Amino acid sequence: MAPASRRCSPLPPLPQGEGGQGGEAPLDGQGDLGSGATGETPVVPPSSTFHVPPSTSPSGTFGPEDVFYYAYAVFHSPTYRQRYAEFLKIDFPRVPMTASLQLFRKLCILGEELVALHLLESPYLSQLITRYPVVGDNIVEKGFPKFVAYEEGGPGYVYINKAQYFEGVPKEVWDFHVGGYQVCEKWLKDRRGRQLSFDDLMHYQKVVVALKETIRLMAEIDRAIPGWPIG
């Protein structure tokens, strides 16, 4: 199996327009990110190297996937995205490194969980939170999908036609955007006029779980980081 950092995630870490033109993220050796909305100056060692605390492994070493998981977690911090929003529109995202072994380990763990979710390999995905209760032709009709909440702000139904729907989709999941797109809406829009197979129906429900867990982990990442700039 290829390393997670070399596989393609269906849920990229930064929305389009917030991460430059893509590519690898430059790594800052210490301090905060580049100048931008905050007016702060990036600190990059002349050698272009950076220091990472020892890994969670018993040997005390770390590998490229540890750094990848750490960066993936940082990029999913809502505070990171808000604090550096203007900078992210004009340049590549930068990774603020921490001198705290405890924080590095925590963010590695959270980042690894996110990667598993976004590759649809997490064990959480077997615990579906939605149902697809109505038998029919499973065709996504013109004018659909539509979200109808049980009550304002609560979960609801995602209709693919006048009769059939996914039941129990959280409102925050329906509204969640990745790469500038509303994921739950776009996936079905791209399949208008098509008949959804059993695998399609299961895939969509797994994506709902992945997004719900992503929202939870993003909040947990913010709680784990004691302050900005990361120290």
pLDDT lower than 70: segments of the chain: 1-61
- Predicted local confidence at residue 188, as pLDDT: 98
Query: What pLDDT does 52 receive?
Result: 53
- pLDDT, residue 12, reads 44
Predicted pLDDT of residue 60: 57
Q: What SS3 string covers the chain?
A: CCCHHHCCCCCCCCCCCCCCCCCCCCECCECCCCCCCCCCCCECCCCCCCCCCCCCCCCCCCCHHHHHHHHHHHHCCHHHHHHCHHHHHHCCCCECCCCCHHHHHHHHHHHHHHHHHHCCCCHHHHCCCCECCCCCCCEECCCCCEEEECCCCCCEEEECCCCCEEEEECHHHHHCEECCEEHHHHHHHCCECCECCHHHHHHHHHHHHHHHHHHHHHHHHHHHCCCCCCC
- pLDDT computed for residue 207 by the predictor: 98
Q: What is the pLDDT of residue 167?
A: 98
pLDDT at position 29 is 35
Q: What is the pLDDT of residue 53?
A: 53
pTM metric for this prediction: 0.76
